């Protein structure tokens, strides 16, 4: 049986920001002179002010997004490590029981082969049915063991996911983040979006809550 705890994917939408726009100022039109004006020398036009690089306005981030590395959180948090250890322990126990039953079946099969030549047709048929019953019991045990392991993984994954969600919400609110998403979902981000890895912060919160229990 292959052990694989399903990765829990998290996307917490906190709020969306409306796009900001600004209207251009409209300069008033020059008034038309109704009477002739005296001839005067036109004043020299002033050169437009040149903005220095330091005067250039900086774009304000429209959103602050945190991204979480689920693999890292699972492998480094206390709850994640405990879940992995619990699944591994359960798997090894079930595998040991399965191997024991396989050895028993193998011994029974060898014993039947050693005596089959001296058996009557009725005895062979009886032994075959008996052995098939053992095989059916073995297959049923393997199926139940797999279901038991899968049930444990689902239970632990839900527990981990709930703890992860609460920690992400708490961290996101404390840091004023707009979103907390799974790292692998970040395919493109505009320059004005502020992003940060929140994995360590989430791990710290999860560990603190787990140790208080």
Task: Read off the pLDDT of residues 196-209 as tens digits, 9 standing for 90 and up.
Answer: 999 999 999 999 99
Instruction: Answer whether residue 187 shows pLDDT above 90.
Output: no
Judged by average pLDDT, the poorest of 71-80, 93-102, 189-198 is 189-198
Residues in Cβ contact with 38 at an 8 Å cutoff, skipping those fewer than 6 apart: none
| CA distances from residue 5 to 70, 149, 156 in whole angstroms, order as listed | 12, 10, 9
Cα–Cα distance measured from residue 112 to residue 122, given in angstroms and rounded to the nearest whole number: 14
58 touches 194 (CB < 8 A): no
Over residues 8-56, the pLDDT tens digits come to 333 332 233 333 333 333 333 333 334 344 444 444 545 444 444 444 4
């Amino acid at each position: 049986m292959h052990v694989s705890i399903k990765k829990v994917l998290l996307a917490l939408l906190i709020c969306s920001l409306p796009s900001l726009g600004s209207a251009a100022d409209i300069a008033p039109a020059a008034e038309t002179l109704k009477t002739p004006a005296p001839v005067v020398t036109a004043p020299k036009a002033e050169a437009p002010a040149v903005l220095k690089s330091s005067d250039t306005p900086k774009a304000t981030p429209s959103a602050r997004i945190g991204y979480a590395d689920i693999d890292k959180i699972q492998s480094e948090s206390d709850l994640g490590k405990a879940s992995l250890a619990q699944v591994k322990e359960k798997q090894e126990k079930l595998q040991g029981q399965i191997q024991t039953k396989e050895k028993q079946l193998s011994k029974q099969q060898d014993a039947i082969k050693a005596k089959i030549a001296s058996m009557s047709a009725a005895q062979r048929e009886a032994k075959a049915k008996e052995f098939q019953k053992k095989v059916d019991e073995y297959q049923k045990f393997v199926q139940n063991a797999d279901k038991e392991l899968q049930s444990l993984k689902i239970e632990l994954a839900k527990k981990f996911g709930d703890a992860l969600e609460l920690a992400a919400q708490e961290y996101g609110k404390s840091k004023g983040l707009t979103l907390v998403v799974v790292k692998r979902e970040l395919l493109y981000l505009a320059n004005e979006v502020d992003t940060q890895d929140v994995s360590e912060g989430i791990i710290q919160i999860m560990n603190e809550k787990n140790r208080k229990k």
